[in-house]
């Protein structure tokens, strides 16, 4: 297949592109007349499907496109990253890190308060020495602390 190169520069208009498309279509129509009926029907159906899936001109003109000398399309270059874009992209990361730090400190405070309440309960109660080796002792102290908190 031949690559069609246009002599259009960046100022090429859509009418010139339409003329190029029409001339290409006429060449394809001439070449398809020598084909069999079944191949011609398949080509006709394929053309109809291509026309249906063709994007609307309003969507194409939304971006500023330019035709280069070699026939390729390219967009206008962006301005790059300025200070506001850098800050806007770093803001979600900053919010995530600060939220994780807050959650960690909150959990650490809760763990410290649980340990402190268990220590104070152990120091205030009179217990036999073998109670400290009992596996359910910590659970017993927690239940007792909750019951004492409800009574107060």
Q: What pLDDT, on the 0 to 100 scale, is given for residue 78?
A: 60
Residue 54 structural domain: 14-75
Question: Which segments of the chain does DSSP mark as H helices, in order?
Answer: 14-32, 37-52, 57-60, 83-124, 137-151
Same domain, 92 and 35: no
Q: Is the pTM of this model over 0.85?
A: no
112 in a structural domain = yes
Please give the structure tokens belonging to residue 146: 């909750």
Residue 57 lies in a domain: yes
Contact 66, 76 (CB under 8 A): yes
Domain boundary residue among 47, 75, 103? 75
Domains in the chain, number: 2
Alpha carbon distance 139, 144 (integer Å): 9
Q: Are residues 21 and 65 in the same domain?
A: yes
Residues 90 and 39 in one domain: no
Q: Are residues 70 and 20 in the same domain?
A: yes
User: For every one of its 152 residues, what pLDDT tens digit does the chain have, with 9 covering 90 and above?
Assistant: 444 444 444 345 778 888 888 888 888 777 777 777 888 788 888 878 887 887 765 544 445 556 666 666 666 556 666 788 888 889 999 999 999 999 999 999 998 988 888 788 777 877 777 777 787 877 877 787 777 777 76
Rg, Å, the chain Cα set: 38
| pLDDT computed for residue 1 by the predictor | 45
Q: What's the rounded Cα separation, in Å, for the pair 76 and 65?
A: 7
CA distance 73 to 75: 7
**Phi then psi for 135, rounded to 5 degrees?**
-65, -25
């Amino acid at each position: 297949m031949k690559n069609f190169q246009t002599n259009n520069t960046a100022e090429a208009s859509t009418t010139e592109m339409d003329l190029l498309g029409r001339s290409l279509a006429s060449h394809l129509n001439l070449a398809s007349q020598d084909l069999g009926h079944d191949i011609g029907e398949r080509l006709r159906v394929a053309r109809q499907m291509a026309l249906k899936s063709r994007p609307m001109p309003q969507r194409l003109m939304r971006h500023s496109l330019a035709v280069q000398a070699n026939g390729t399309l390219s967009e206008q270059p962006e301005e790059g990253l300025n200070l506001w874009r850098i800050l806007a992209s770093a803001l979600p990361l900053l919010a995530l890190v600060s939220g994780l730090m807050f959650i960690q400190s909150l959990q650490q405070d809760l763990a410290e308060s649980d340990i402190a309440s268990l220590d104070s309960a152990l120091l205030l109660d009179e217990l036999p020495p073998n109670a400290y080796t009992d596996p359910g002792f910590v659970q017993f102290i927690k239940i007792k602390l909750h019951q004492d908190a409800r009574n107060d």
